[in-house]
Amino acid sequence: MSSSNKTQIRLIENPLLSTTGDIVVCAYSLEIQVDPLDAYMATNQSEDYRCLWMCPSSDSSMFGLGAVATVESSGVNRFTAASEALASLASLVCFYGPDKAPRPVLLGGFSFAPIHKAAPTRDHIIPRGHDVAEAGCSLQRYPREYARNTSEQHDVAEAGRSLQQLTHSRSNSFVIDGLGCDGQPSWEGFGDCQLVLPRITVMNKNRSTWILVAKKMEVGEGIESTKSALLQDKLDFIRQLEKQQTRPKHDTSKRNASGQAAAEHDFPSSAQLAHAQYDHGRFSANGPHAAPSLNSASSDITSSDAACADTVSLCGCRGKYLDLVETAIESIARGECQKVVVARTVKLELNLKNSIIYVLDHLRQNNPKCAIFAFVVGDIVFWGATPERHVTFADSQIYTTAVAGTVARHMTLEDDVVLENELRTSPKLLSEHQLVVEDMVNSLTQIGAEAVTVDDLSVLKLARVQHLSTPIKAQMPTNHKDDNSDNALDVISVAGKLHPTPAVAGTPTEAALRFLDRNENFTRGWYAAPIGWCELQGNGEMWVAIRSGLSDEKHTWLFSGAGIMADSVPSEELEETDNKLKMLFEAIQVASKRKLSAYSKLDFECDG
């Protein structure tokens, strides 16, 4: 493994890799089904890592607690480096369990683009004699005029990019790249790549529940004593689950005993739509229908949540996003891009730490076709419900899905069918979707995949929006696993070959990424990047982290984006991002029992 890839495998209390078998994993079958949300709530929240992954449509879920080993890599080669590290880690693990037991998995994800860059100094990014706040407002509101009046000895483009990543907080402190400031999403602890082998993993699959317990062997410790310690860890965890039975339960009325959605919500009910009505840029819950009960869920919402009062102010910078779309259209008109996907954030002054369990429960119940996820690092939670599968890799078989082209849903069946027909016949949306299909097929061909098959175009219907969707399958050659083969691949390396697709970046890829680096005024972090799980042998599943939010102890940021083409209409693209956000707003509103309202300030007063 090349050291230039900046990859490391960290073992708790043992930063060095030594002999084979440093980590022991034991698998235990349980007679009862364990809801992963119960496992999430039952565990010690002081653990550095917690990971939750649920796919209701496939009746599978995983919960991971703690970290025995962590694969970390950085930079543009983060996928290749992580794949190599995965192979090294596999040689360190001794697994004990029945033949039918699931194998150990790593849970985590990657950044959309390398996050950590060299931090520019204040003197470098601000021409002398200019106040930071004034310079920021000028560049945000009048970029062309500011460029003409800036000293020639300063690179205005670089200054603009740096200012977009630099936020002036009330405490007069500065933080670079959106890490830990009031105005930008804080991705502290979420690196370019972070894949965790949990200390305890709960798996639900094929109507069976398994607990996998992992431990690093201590110096001089034998296998039998390690296995005894793992059994004790398993028993301690079961006791935690038993204590969890005394807490107020979240609503499970829409799920069967396995935690799977009882029925897919192919069409939203009027009561569902009323939870977060949209009217001229304002989300509210003042409709005629009350939010459904969460069985005393509010009892788990602490005073810090209550301090947010009954109305939570949202700032989505709608005007700024319209300007960004206009800039993208101008870039496309100049021939710089064919398509570019631009995103926006909405910032909530809301602490979801103690009510995130109910947000996730609502997302699971109402979005059975999505992957529901939560990755917790310290006090920061990245969560969401994504409908876009990036890649499933299973014994040399590759499955992926092109998802692009979006229209809203409607509360009446007749009108919903009309919108679906518009989706199927729109030249702009069909062209946008075809770009994604062609790019993914080309990427699979380049990595040596055989028998690439493109299935028929279909419509993926979700609670709030509907997308054009095309499943794609491929087969890797039989020699791709050979040690001496250049085609040796696993789910991580395939995910890296496909990322970023035109569905989340644009095309041509490099030109679209350059546009986003210059013009998007926030750090995407793990948003729109591959997340999921992988086995030590390379099989696994990665989805694209869209329809997502990031929450710390004070704030929550929600992310949404839209694909811009030459004939895009800015107001329609803004409405598309609104429709995608509705799912998240509804889940938060139901979970927190609060009325949410949205408003827009002047662009230069907004944080992004």
Question: Which residue in 72, 388, 535, 586 is the catalytic one?
Answer: 388
Residue type, 502: P
Residue 401 pairs in a beta bridge with 471
Tell me if residue 388 is catalytic. yes
Q: Which two tokens stand for residue 413?
A: 């069946």
Alpha carbons 314 and 317: distance in angstroms, whole number: 9
Give Cα 174 to chain centroid, integer Å.
Answer: 26
Closest CA to 544 of 483, 513, 490, 499: 499
* Backbone phi and psi for residue 427, each to the nearest 5 degrees, phi listed first: -60, -40
CA distance 305 to 2: 47
Task: Give me 137's structure tokens.
Answer: 């407002």
Q: How many whole angstroms separate alpha carbon 496 and alpha carbon 512?
A: 17
Phi, psi at residue 494, to the nearest 5°?
-65, -40
Catalytic residue among 215, 339, 369, 580: 339
* CA distance from start to end of the chain: 40
Task: Quickly count: other Cβ atoms within 10 Å of residue 345's Cβ.
Answer: 28
| Chain centroid offset of residue 581 CA | 14
Instruction: Evaluate whether 62 touches 211 at the Cβ level (below 8 Å).
Output: no
Pairing of strands 167-168, 174-175: antiparallel
Would you give the DSSP letter of residue 453? E
**For the residues of 11-54, what is the DSSP string, one character each?**
ETTB-S--STTSEEEEEEEESS---HHHHHHHS-TTSSEEEEEE
| Burial class (CB within 10 angstroms; exposed 0-12, middle 13-18, buried 19+) of 286 | exposed
Residue 211 and residue 202: Cα distance in Å, rounded? 5
* Phi, psi angles (nearest 5°) of residue 29: -85, 140
Q: Please list the active-site residues.
A: 339, 388
